[in-house]
Amino acid sequence: MWWSSWRDRAARLVGLVPHPRTPVPRDRSARAGRGPMKVVYEQAVVHESFSFKARVVQRTMRLVFKPLLQYTPINDRSLATIRALDKLSARRPRSRYIEPVEYRLGGVRVEAMTHRYGPDSDMTILYLHGGGFFSCGIESHRRICERLALKTGATVVSVDYVQLPEGSIADSVSDAITAYAALLDESTHADKIVVAGDSAGGYLTMKIAELATRRGLQAPAALLGFSPLLSVDPDREDKDVVRIIRSRDAYLPIKRIAKIRERWLPEGSSIEGYASPLHASAYISSPTFFVAVEDEMLRPEVEAMALLLSQRGVEVETHLWRKQVHAFPVMADVLPESEMALQLAADFARRAVGELDRPATVDPDAHQEQIAGMVPDSAA
């Protein structure tokens, strides 16, 4: 293998021990979609086929939304405007099979739902929406919560945690762990609480797992992360996280991360535990399910976290998808790949809580693509 052991590989990925003097050869011209998908985490399940809809969504995001995010000023006014636009999604038709109930969980606003036709389950899913800590909310992510409720049978509790400009990441983390702790107290099946989230919500998902251990709380039964943010500096390439393909994120502008980070971590704010969940793997023991996109900015750290957890014996299931956009499972009404990703996640969650009463779903077009020997020059 190209490292001596799983432990050494995982440690080097996050800079815990020095890399050998001879670097892995890399060809900077490597692009997504050329040849078999290369992986760092050898047990990752690779989904190389993609639908016409997925290609259209990816191109639209790249041509329309990425430029908007690239040039929109990052100030209180623009953040407030984005949040106001997000709330328009509340006008979308709701499923007639869902009756959302809004209440306070430990003082944090949440919305709970069950699906009339979901399977029997004692599970609860605590869902943390994405949006970079400055956009989206319960309204924008209601559909993915509805789908999770249908596919798992769980009661899905969506958390309206504080965001910019009202608070920093530290405040978001505080709301997330507060809601989780309150849910543990209220639940009659505390051993069947699954925590899930996309993007920034994936960050909060992993923080809940870390802080539950630090505080002596019961750990989540499972973690579901859809393109999770695993550090506050995913734009940096000097952290010894292995990158085997050039990042060409469909709509996340890498150059804006440094600017938004100033708002994420204002002077005087302090995040409980590690600022970056990638450094907290020693505190995470819950079975973990990851989804990432082949060339998205956050993929390298997802694979790094998968390695770190696996070498500690934590159950990890990682799925890598081609020609999708960041956090694509949120688009459950649009993409067939989103439906498949959510079904795979639902099966993982039901298995983790002992409720999967049938064979797990398998994507017939998926496979494992393992690296053997040195990383070839064509796999930058």
Q: CATH number of the domain that 269 lies in? A: 3.40.50.1820
Q: Which of 121, 168, 172, 199 is catalytic?
A: 199
Q: Is residue 259 part of a domain?
A: yes
Strand ranges inside the chain, DSSP E: 45-47, 101-105, 108-113, 124-128, 155-159, 193-198, 222-226, 288-293, 316-321, 366-368
> How many of the other CB atoms lie within 10 Å of CB of 87?
13
Q: Is residue 313 part of a domain?
A: yes
Q: Is residue 377 part of a domain?
A: no
Domain count, the chain: 1
Per-residue pLDDT reduced to its tens digit, 200-229: 999 999 999 999 999 999 999 999 999 999
What does the pLDDT read at residue 379? 33
Label residue 1 by pLDDT band (50, 70, 90). Answer: very low
Q: Is residue 379 part of a domain?
A: no
Report the sign of the C-alpha dihedral through residues 140, 269, 230, 183, in that order: negative
Residue type, 106: G
Q: Is residue 380 part of a domain?
A: no
What whole-number distance in Å separates Cα of residue 24 and Cα of residue 2?
8
Question: Closest Cα partner for 193 from 165, 157, 244, 241?
Answer: 157
What whole-number distance in Å separates Cα of residue 116 and Cα of residue 342?
18
| Catalytic (active site) residue 199 | yes
What does the pLDDT read at residue 377? 36
What does the pLDDT read at residue 16? 45
Q: Stretch 40-66: mean pLDDT, rounded?
A: 91
Residue 234 structural domain: 6-368
What does the pLDDT read at residue 244? 85
Per-residue pLDDT reduced to its tens digit, 33-46: 667 888 999 899 99
Percent of all residues in the chain with a pLDDT value above 90, rounded to a whole number = 61
Q: Is residue 376 part of a domain?
A: no
Cβ partners under 8 Å of residue 367, min gap 6: 45, 46, 48
CA dihedral defined by 69, 75, 81, 86, rounded to 10 degrees?
A: 60
Percent of all residues in the chain with a pLDDT value above 70, rounded to a whole number = 87
Q: pTM of the full predicted structure? A: 0.88
Q: Is residue 373 part of a domain?
A: no
Question: Closest Cα partner for 100 from 108, 109, 135?
Answer: 109
Task: Give the N- to C-terminal CA distance of the chain in Å, as an integer.
Answer: 17
Q: Is residue 1 part of a domain?
A: no
